[in-house]
Chain A
Amino acid sequence: MMKTKFLIIIVYILFIFQSSFAQNLKININKGQIEPLPIAIANFTDKNGKINKVGRLISDVITNNLVSSGQFKTPDAAAFIAPPSSPAIRPNFSDWTPLGIKALVTGSIHQIDESQIEVEFRLWDILAETDMIGLRLTVDKKSWRRVAHIISDETFQRLTGDKGYFDTRIVYISESGPLNKRKKRLAIMDQDGENHQFLTDGNFLVLTPRFSPSTQEITYLAYYNNEPRVYIFNLQTGEQELLGSFPGMTFAPRFSPDGSKIIMSYAEKGVTDIYLMDIKSQKLKRLTNNLSIDTSPSFSPDGKKVTFNSDRGGSQKIYVMDEKGRNIKKISNGKGRYATPVWSPRGDLIAFTKMLRGEFYIGVMNPDGSGERLLAKGYLVEGPTWAPNGRFLMYFKQSRPSKNNVSPKVNLFRVDVTGFREVKIVTPGEGSDPAWSPLIP
């Protein structure tokens, strides 16, 4: 909590500092403003209407999810009002209205047998004095966290109109050690940092993991046997499979929207182009063919277009082409170098990294290159990844090393696509290269 406040203050100071130079630089970091909706989340009750431990934990997870999104706040005073003892009972709405509470989540949890629990929840509209949504789930009792995330997603969607993003996971690169002898491990965690696990042991370099849109698989770059190649990691079996067989380096992989292909870069003899490989048949198709660097490809959600990074015009810019590699067009039109374009799952925006006058930025633009907005800035910010609802971005940020600080910290951050509220994501060690999963099916 303290840390978050601290961060907000820093962002604010940056903003002030920035605006005094704004006329020279003509760079504006977008700072959207959102008035959070007051909501109360009751502790979930058991069969007898009493609050139990898991019921309290579920309520805590939902509260943390909704508040951390920046869209909601939970006024402290609401804690003193007794919620109904069961989600089937209508709350006494007039208890809540004076506090300005607009919505109330109530729920129950009870044990069906040794391993299963039934969780029920309801979302109430306090002003209209009616229920907005209800849900009952029977799950393994170890899955109570997922239930809390699903309830958070339902609540978020009902109240904001956007799909939620809470029942998701983040794969990223966990980092430790000095910068010249960095240990990098593939790691995965729930979107809120829970259930953290390492997937590789750090004995070989791994980079740029990305989730499959449809299967429990990750594609990434690994230096097994000192040969940088694209691999696929199956989360269900733990198996790692080399994709294709190439004499040169394959890297910058991403899945196609249907999950059947990998689009990536292949570098040979000083030339880096973009290729598309069908995972099952291993059939390879070359999409670009030129002497410059073409990398960081990302499909549009309909699979019809690809945005990528190229220095074919002399310096790094962002381009769009069709899925066959034709109709190549430069879309970024500002000053500086542009990199790592990633198409939003909604299709409406492309996120990118921008380098200008010694600073790095995370921004978004329309797919035709118009409407560029910068959302975050730093000594080094890089590699945005979209939440499945296309409303939040995660990326990594390295602080500017001071003279005595030989190993500056690298961490994951998240920002609302309006530029509202940059939040540090807490990980056990340092972290980079985050990739957001789709909503877990």
Chain B
Amino acid sequence: MFNKFFAMIGVLLLLASCETASQKAAVSSSASSTGASKTDSVKKAKKSSASASGSSSLFAKGKESASDKLIAVGDRVLFDYDSSELSADAKLTLDKQSRFLRANSDLTFTIEGHCDERGTREYNLALGEQRATAVRDYLVIEGIDADRLRVISYGKEKPAVIGSNDMAWSKNRRAVTSID
């Protein structure tokens, strides 16, 4: 009975391998804290340089007014649920947008694709990419140089309107064009 017990301890000692137990716990805690501090310092450096360029006023102001104009022209189009097809309304908006893009040939643009929260995260990332691409493709057909247009999907990560109703969801199913 007792012999059997000690034999069992022996086997379990091998199985559970106590040394790795202590090593892993120590390693993982120190490693992950260094990981966090590294990214901290990188980001801080970036932040300060960004704010420096932001304060050099003239360019920022010019950009701001162009952004305002783009918003006035119509910077976004909306989509039906689980769809990336451009509606007739959306095409009208993009016709106006393309005139603005042509008139501002020195600027480059990013088209953000977004979804409502009534889908799963990964599928929505793909759907957002489809929506942004639908807008890009339309603008390219309208004669805009594809090199001036960048596409990014945020899926359901950045709702324009917070709310759990059809109104909010319809405004979140969108592709937004903005000046880089």
Contact = CB atoms under 8 A, between A and B. Distances in A.
B133 A270 contact: yes
B123 A296 contact: yes
B18 A401 contact: no
Which of B5, B125, B151 has the most C-beta atoms of chain A within 10 angstroms of its own C-beta? B125
A355 B115 CA distance: 15
A333 to B, nearest CB: 19
Contacts of B119: 337, 339, 355
B12 to A, nearest CB: 5
B120 A383 contact: yes
Interface residues of A, number: 81
A134 B12 contact: yes
Contacts of B158: 180, 182
Interface string A256-288: 000000000101011010000000000000000
B162 interface: yes
B162 A406 contact: yes
B64 interface: no
A340 B126 CA distance: 13
Contacts of B105: none
Contacts of B117: 380, 398
Contact of B121 (A135, A137, A207, A233): A207
Interface in A391-408: 398, 400-401, 406-408
B2 to A, nearest CB: 9
Nearest to A216: B28
A158 to B, nearest CB: 11
Contact of B21 (A143, A226, A236, A269): A143
A221 B152 CA distance: 14
B173 to A, nearest CB: 15
B24 A441 contact: yes
Contact of B163 (A197, A340, A382, A401): A401
A380 B119 CA distance: 9
A208 B121 contact: yes
B27 A140 contact: no
Interface in B99-124: 110, 117-123
A214 interface: no
Interface stretch (A8-16, A237-245, A417-425): A237-245
A252 B35 contact: no
Interface in A344-387: 353, 355, 358, 379-380, 382-383
Interface string B27-71: 111011111101110010001000000000000000000000000
A85 to B, nearest CB: 18
A171 to B, nearest CB: 10
Contacts of A137: 13, 16, 18, 21
Given A137-B16, A269-B133, A270-B130, A316 B35 contact: no
B28 A236 contact: yes
Contacts of B74: none
A203 B121 CA distance: 20
Interface string A33-59: 000000000000000000000000000
Contacts of A139: 18, 21-22
B16 A150 contact: yes
A49 B28 CA distance: 34
A190 B130 CA distance: 38
A22 interface: no
B25 interface: yes
Interface in A112-158: 131, 133-140, 142-143, 145-147, 150, 154
A309 B9 contact: no
Nearest to B4: A131
A62 interface: no
A321 interface: no
A252 B122 contact: yes
A359 to B, nearest CB: 10
B72 interface: no
B39 to A, nearest CB: 5
A295 B38 CA distance: 32
A20 interface: no
Nearest to B112: A226
B12 A309 contact: no
A178 B162 CA distance: 9
Interface in A172-198: 178-180, 182, 184, 188, 195, 197-198
Nearest to A137: B18
Nearest to A147: B21
A315 interface: yes
A139 B162 CA distance: 50
A249 B118 CA distance: 22
A136 B153 contact: no
B152 to A, nearest CB: 6
A236 B129 CA distance: 34
30 contacts: A134-B12, A135-B12, A135-B13, A137-B21, A139-B21, A140-B22, A142-B26, A146-B22, A154-B12, A180-B159, A201-B40, A208-B121, A216-B24, A228-B153, A237-B31, A239-B35, A240-B39, A248-B151, A251-B122, A270-B84, A293-B127, A293-B130, A295-B125, A296-B123, A309-B122, A311-B82, A315-B82, A355-B118, A380-B117, A383-B121
Going nearest first, the 8 A-B pairs with the smallest beta carbon separation are: A238-B35, A270-B133, A140-B22, A339-B120, A272-B126, A293-B126, A252-B122, A238-B34
Given A137-B13, A234-B31, A238-B32, 20 more contacts: A131-B5, A136-B12, A143-B22, A182-B157, A184-B157, A188-B32, A201-B43, A216-B31, A235-B32, A235-B35, A238-B31, A240-B35, A249-B153, A265-B122, A270-B137, A293-B130, A296-B123, A339-B119, A353-B120, A355-B118
